[in-house]
Amino acid sequence: MDAQNFNKIFRECIEKYHEIDEIDQPYDNPYQGFEGLLYEKCWIDTMQWHLEDIIRKPDIDPVEGIKIKRRIDELNQKRTDLVELIDEYIYNLYKDVPVSSDARLNTETPGWAIDRLSILNLKIYHWELEANRKDASDEHRKKAQQKLDILLRQQKDLTLAINQLLKELSEGKAIARTYKQMKMYNDPELNPVLRQYKKLKNEG
């Protein structure tokens, strides 16, 4: 398990999406197992990225905007579910490793660090486009390249940090725990607005 390989899968996914560059294009995951989870998660991240672009149109129809917002919420829930599946996979991978008495807890789970790496790859892809835009000014491309350089450094650092964490988990020097996100707003029994709506609908 190597975060460098995660980057390759994310880049492959992003480039595949942009061959057609449409939200509802056919989706075919070329991977299975853990790598399949990474690819699917990045595909969802890429869909969300472009939906976030669309919803910011100044003249967007309000009804269409609401539909897109709800779709973004739905994708975000799927994204969270996939992060938890990634964490569960890693937890099961190292669950039998004896844990040192001085093993440390990380500030975030491996899955959420991998989530950030996926988003970082998306940023890199799109800033590369800006840094090479032929219809943009030299100043625009220069500023875009400066941001891209920072993002590439972040990618290098985060890749290293994830690999360090995975190594520590494999050696029992870090503790692997999974945390469900406990989201409430999508559940009619937990979101008071949805609960009231459900109640009125049943009464009507």
Q: What is the pLDDT of residues 130-148, one digit of tens each?
A: 999 999 999 999 999 999 9
- For the segment 67-89, the average pLDDT, to the nearest whole number, is 94
- Asked whether the beta carbons of 55 and 68 are under 8 A apart, the reply is yes
C-alpha closest to that of 168 among 115, 96, 99, 92: 99
> Is 64 or 195 the better-scoring residue by pLDDT?
64
99 φ/ψ sector (left φ>0, alpha ψ -120 to 50, else beta): beta
- pLDDT over 80 at 178, yes or no: no
Tens of pLDDT, residues 85-143: 999 999 999 999 999 999 998 889 999 999 999 999 999 999 999 999 999 999 999 99
pTM to 2 decimals? 0.88
| Listed residue (59, 1, 78, 75) closest to 33, CA to CA | 1
Averaged pLDDT, 17-25: 95
pLDDT at residue 182, rounded to an integer: 63
Query: Across the strands, what pairs with 104?
Result: 174
The torsion angles phi and psi of 104, rounded to 5 degrees, stand at: -100, 160
* Alpha carbon of residue 183 to chain centroid: 16
108: which DSSP letter?
Answer: S
Scanning the structure block, which residue is given the tokens 């998306």?
Answer: 122
Cα 84 to the center of its chain, rounded Å:
11
